[in-house]
């Protein structure tokens, strides 16, 4: 951990230096000094690349009401707005520019396996006690990537709910698992794209209403049959593997969220 901390400090210094100084300092640290991912340049509107996509993945949960952040590697207005919301939530100057302070906070809440601090791979692969990310429509690698995006959205939702724990009662499901639990044949759980949530400190309606601001295009909660004891959230709008579910659908009538497409 000390090595990672030293490398992070070097990268942060490099990002703060102008011109030629950056080239001489940035060359020193390893490409993944953080243990998961380390940024070596400031990011802002107009920039593009894999480093932008890595940032988008981590701020996808700060998309704003009924919006999403596409993981397209292009730093546009939606990404800038999401960065500002992230910065504001964590007490950073909200200028929409991802620099040393923003990256330092991401490193702080990011584990070395790339998951956010409060969620884990095993927690999201728990539809029927763990399937090893196999048995769904996608490859295990594709499924894990969608589950990782789900976790970062959940981290943002958790933060906005006062940093109070959220419990994932069902995450990825294999086809066999989905059939066993009576899931829909086109369930977003099959893609690693969904999570069913409960909370001991927040009501289900608080969870459902707040989820509207955190990039979830699927929200189903109290007032819908089978969803009175949990809130289902998913990213169906971003799931290119399932065009029939490529719209935003929210339904939690008991929480003041009427059923329908948005």
Just list the catalytic residues.
Answer: 227
- The b-or-e profile of 210-229 (16+ CB within 10 A means b, else e) is bbbbbbbbbbbbbbbeebee
Q: Which two tokens stand for residue 126?
A: 């728990």
Q: Which two tokens stand for residue 157?
A: 């939702």
Contacts of residues 52-55 at CB distance under 8 Å and 24 or more positions apart, as own/partner, are 52/79, 55/79, 55/83, 55/98, 55/106
Nearest-angstrom CA–CA distance, 142 and 59: 19
How is 235-259 classified by DSSP, letter by letter? Answer: -GGG-TT-GGG-S-EEEEGGGTEEE
Contact 72, 55 (CB under 8 A): no
110: Cβ contacts below 8 Å, ≥ 6 apart = 34, 36, 37, 58, 116, 117
Q: Which two tokens stand for residue 165?
A: 């724990």
Q: Which two tokens stand for residue 30?
A: 């390893």
């Amino acid at each position: 951990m000390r090595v990672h901390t030293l490398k992070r400090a070097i990268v942060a210094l490099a990002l703060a230096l102008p011109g030629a100084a950056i080239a001489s300092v940035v060359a020193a640290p390893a490409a993944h000094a953080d243990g998961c991912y380390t940024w070596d340049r400031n990011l802002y509107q107009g920039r593009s690349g894999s480093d932008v996509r890595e940032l988008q993945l981590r701020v996808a949960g700060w998309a704003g009401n009924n919006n999403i952040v596409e993981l397209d590697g292009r730093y546009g207005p939606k990404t800038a707005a999401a960065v500002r919301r992230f910065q504001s939530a964590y007490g950073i100057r909200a200028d929409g520019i991802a620099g040393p302070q923003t990256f330092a906070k991401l490193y702080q809440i990011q584990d070395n396996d790339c998951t956010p601090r409060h969620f884990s791979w095993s927690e999201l692969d728990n539809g029927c006690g763990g399937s090893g990310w196999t048995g769904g429509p996608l490859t295990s690698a594709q499924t894990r990537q969608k589950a990782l995006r789900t976790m970062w959205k959940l981290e943002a939702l958790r933060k906005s709910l006062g940093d109070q724990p959220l419990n994932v009662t069902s995450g990825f499901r294999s086809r066999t698992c989905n059939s066993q639990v009576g899931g829909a044949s086109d369930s977003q759980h099959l893609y690693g794209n969904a999570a069913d949530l409960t909370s001991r400190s927040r009501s289900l309606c608080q969870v459902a209403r707040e989820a509207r601001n955190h990039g979830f295009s699927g929200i189903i909660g109290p007032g819908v049959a089978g969803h009175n004891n949990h809130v289902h959230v998913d990213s169906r709008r971003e799931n290119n593997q399932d065009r029939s579910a490529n719209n935003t659908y929210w339904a939690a009538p008991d929480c003041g969220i009427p059923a329908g497409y948005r």
